[in-house]
Amino acid sequence: MKGQEIDTCWAHSLGATEAARRFLSLTVDLCACTFAAANATGDTIEFEFDGQVLKGPSAGSRKYVAGFNLYRGLLYGTALKKTRQVETLLAHDASAPFPGGHPSHFHVSLAQGMSAWLKGEERWKDDFEYAQFLTAPENLRDYSLSEVQVYTSIIPVIHAIHAGSQKAFTEAVAGAVKAHKKHFGRGARSKQGTSVLAIHASCAAAIGVQRGLLFEVESPYAPRWLVEGVQP
């Protein structure tokens, strides 16, 4: 699924907006398909992929799911208004163990917080707070501080959306874009496809726009085609 994200950034850098949107949409489809297969009660599942409704085998006893895929599937899917896929992901019990993917607990806490927030469950604040605790400098193990802040910087955006605060929303989105630029916008990373588009910050901002807030951050890292759905 990481490949679709890189393809999204690559297409965006070439000005191919529709292709970029399609690649990001495929990321959501793959995340939803994975969880549909893992949670299936029968031998087959029905899922949507690239605009087509398909059928395929369930995961059976192999319940391989990753917290990070739940987090980004919910974040990207909500931003892109992919209702069917988001419903599939929300059907997963985010408090259950995630027997797959990277064992990072902060990814799991992000997934749990996003799921709880979209469901209207009060525990979302505790989940996000725990993700921030796990990614404090003194607790980091496998990641750099700048890398985890690409993900955790969306937490203040969600808080601002929940509060309906325009000022806090604008400041938080600007902070999330800055966190992305800090990690990807310098050195060797600046030449990678992931440097040209702040997907996490943009998708969090898109959710705020859907809920009535204004997008007031001008940055090539957060294009309006993704945040507001407008054509370039």
User: pLDDT (tens digit, 0 to 9) for every residue of the chain, 232 residues total?
Assistant: 667 898 999 899 889 999 999 999 999 999 998 888 877 777 887 878 888 887 888 766 556 667 889 999 999 999 999 999 999 999 998 887 776 555 578 999 999 999 999 999 999 999 999 999 999 999 988 889 999 999 999 999 999 999 999 999 999 999 999 999 999 887 666 666 666 899 999 999 999 999 999 999 999 999 999 999 876 5
CA distance 101 to 1: 12
Q: What single-letter amino acid sits at 95? A: S
**53 forms bridges with which residues in the sheet?**
48
Q: How far apart are CA 200 and CA 8, in angstroms?
A: 12
Distances (CA, A) of 116 to 29, 92, 123, 173: 21, 11, 6, 21
Task: Show the DSSP H helices in 40-142 as ranges.
Answer: 67-79, 83-90, 105-119, 124-134
Q: Tokens for 70?
A: 């739940």
How far is the C-alpha of 25 from the C-alpha of 8, rounded, in Å?
9
pTM > 0.85: yes or no: yes
- The single residue listed with the structure tokens 């808080």 is 159
Question: For the chain, how big is the Rg over CA atoms in Å?
Answer: 17
Matching residue, tokens 């988001």: 86
pLDDT at 188: 67
What three-state secondary structure class fits 44? strand
Q: What is the pLDDT of residue 1?
A: 61
